[in-house]
Amino acid sequence: MDMSTEMPRYERFFSKYAIGDDRRKREILIVDDEPVNLSILSKVLTPFFVVRVCKSGEDALRNASIAPYPDLVLLDIMMPGMDGYEVLSKMRENRDTRDIPVVFLSSLNSDVDEEKGLLLGAVDYITKPFKPIVVLARVRAQLEFKEARELLKNQNEWLEAEVDRRLRENQLIQDISLIVIAQLVETRDTETANHIVRTRSYVELLARRLMSAERFPDGTKDGIDVLVKASPLHDIGKIGIPDSILLKPGSLTPEEFEIMKTHTDIGGNAIRNAIDKALLARSGGFSDVKPMSLRILEEAETIARFHHERWDGTGYPDGLKGEEIPLSARIMALADVFDALTSDRPYKSAWSAVEANAYIMEQRGSQFDPDVVDAFESELGEFAEIHRALADD
C-alpha cells in the first residue's frame, strides 16, 4: 500500500481532528501483536492524531490507564496471552478507562465474533486488511460520537447544577417568607422573634431524636425538613385575636381564654384556605409527588390547629387524645411549652431550665406524649444550649 499517494486524498476531509476544539490532537491507542499492522495504522493515522502503539493486551491496559487517556482504542482481537476480548472486559471494569470507545481489529469476519465484541462494549469493528478510507472514516465517526456524548454530558451536568441552584434559591425564598410571616404575627404578641427560631430548633432536635428511636412515621430528611419549616407558623392564628386579650398583662378571664383558644382554628383555617386557593389556581393539578411547598403548608395547618391538644384528651380545639393527635403537633406542643416556660412574659418571669424540665417530666403521659418527653429527656443538654445561644436580649 503506497500511503504517500493515498493520504493526500483524505487530508482536508479529516483535518478537523488534527487540532480539536481544545487545541490538542486527539490520541489514538493502537493495540496489535503484528508489527506490520501497527506500521500501516500508524501511517494512516499519524498525520491527524497522536498515535500510541502496544504489542500486547497487558501493555494496552497500562497505556490506556495513563493520563491523558486515549480518545479511542483500536484493539486487535487475536493476540497471544491476553486477547482483545479480555482487554476490553478489564477496561470496562476500570473507572478511568471504561468510557474510552474501543474499535476491534481482526482478520476474522464472522457474525459470531462481531456480535461477541459488540456485546462486550466495542463501538465498531474493522477487518483486515485495512483500507485507509475505511479506517479514517470509522475513527472519525467514533470521535464525533465521543465528542457528542461528552458535550451532552457536560450540558446535562450544567442543567442539573442550574436546576439545583434555582431550587435552592426558591427554597430559601420560601423559608424566609414563612419566617417573615410568622414574625409579623409575633409583632402583635409579647413573644420575640427568637421564640420562632428557638422553637424551630427544639422541634428539629425532637424530630431527629424520635427518628433515631424509630418513632417518627416520616423519619426521613425530607419529612423532618417539612416539619421544621412548617413549625414557625404554629401561632399564625393569633393574628385574629383582639389586642385587649392577646396583650393583656395579667391572667385571662374564662371568657377571654375561650376567645384566645380560637387562634388554633383561625390559623388552621387560614392555611387551609390558602392551600385550597392555590390548588384551585393550579388547574392542571399536581403529579403523584406533592411539591415541598404544599407539604409544608399542610403540615403547618396541622401544627397550627392541634398544637394545644393534650395527650390525656383535655386540650383544644377538638379534645383529641393520645395518638389521635398528629405527631407533628405533639412535638410542637412540647417545644412551645418549654420555650414559654423559660421566657419572660408580662404575666410571669422566666423559669429556669431545671424548673421547666421538671414540669415537662411531670406532664409525661398527661399533657405530653411519653415518647416525645423521652426524646426531650435525651436532649436536655442541647435544649439548654439552644436556649442559652438564642436568649432574648
Statement to judge: residues 23 and 113 lie in one domain? yes
Confidence at residue 23, expressed as pLDDT on a 0 to 100 scale: 47
* Residues 139, 18 share a domain: yes
pLDDT in tens, 47-66: 889 999 999 999 999 999 88
> Does residue 173 sit within a domain?
no
The reply to whether 193 and 151 lie within a common domain is no
Question: CB of 296 within 8 A of CB of 229?
Answer: yes
Do the beta carbons of residue 202 and residue 339 sit within 8 Å?
yes
pLDDT of res. 275 = 84
**52 contacts 30 by C-beta, under 8 angstroms:** yes
Percentage, residues of the chain above pLDDT 90: 47
- Phi-psi region at 285: left, alpha or beta (left = phi > 0; alpha = psi -120 to 50): left
CB-based contact 68:52 (threshold 8 Å): no
> What distance in Å separates the CA atoms of residue 189 and residue 168, rounded to the nearest whole number?
32
Please tell me the predicted confidence (pLDDT) of residue 357: 95
Of 4 and 142, the one with more pLDDT: 142
Same-domain status, 83 and 218: no
- In terms of domains, do 306 and 351 share one? yes
Evaluate whether residue 165 is within a structural domain. Answer: no
Lowest-confidence pick of 74-78, 258-262, 274-278: 274-278
296-343 tens-digit pLDDT? 889 999 999 999 999 999 999 999 999 999 999 999 999 999 999 998
290 is a domain residue? yes
Domain boundary among 156, 178, 204: 156
**Considering the domain boundaries, does residue 84 fall inside one?**
yes
Domain that holds residue 255: 187-389
Query: Do 175 and 228 meet the contact criterion of CB atoms below 8 Å apart?
Result: no
Given this model, what pLDDT does residue 331 score?
A: 97
CATH number at residue 344: 1.10.3210.10
| pLDDT for res 342 | 93
Helices and strands in the chain: count of H runs, count of E runs: 17, 5
- Residues 254, 379: one domain? yes
**What CA–CA distance (Å, rounded) separates 76 from 50?**
19
Q: Residue 51: inside a domain, yes or no?
A: yes
pLDDT by residue (tens digit) across 36-46?
999 999 999 99
Question: Same domain, yes or no, for 150 and 191?
Answer: no
Q: What percent of the chain has pLDDT over 70?
A: 83
- 357 and 222 in a single domain? The answer is yes
pLDDT tens digits for range 184-194: 666 665 555 68
User: What is the arithmetic mean of pLDDT over 345-365?
Assistant: 90
Residue 175 falls inside a structural domain: no
Q: How confident is the model at residue 182 (pLDDT cuts 50, 70, 90)?
A: low
User: Which residues, 6 or more positions from 47, have their beta carbon under 8 angstroms from its beta carbon?
Assistant: 7, 11, 18
pLDDT at 361 over 50: yes
Is residue 180 in some structural domain?
no
State how many domains the chain has.
Answer: 2
191 and 143 together in one domain: no
Are 147 and 193 members of one domain? no
> What CATH code is carried by the domain that includes residue 96?
3.40.50.2300
115 lies in the same domain as 214: no
Residue 74 to residue 77: CA distance in whole angstroms? 10
- Report the pLDDT value the prediction gives residue 36, as an integer from 0 to 100: 92
pLDDT at residue 3 is higher than 50: no
> Which H or E run contains 368?
none
14 pLDDT tier (thresholds 50, 70, 90): low
Inside any domain, residue 195: yes
Which range of 151-165, 192-206, 212-226, 255-269 scores highest in mean pLDDT? It is: 255-269
CA dihedral (333, 335, 339, 341) positive or negative: positive
Asked whether residue 70 carries a pLDDT value surpassing 50, the answer given is: yes
Q: Tell whether 234 and 131 lie within a shared domain.
A: no
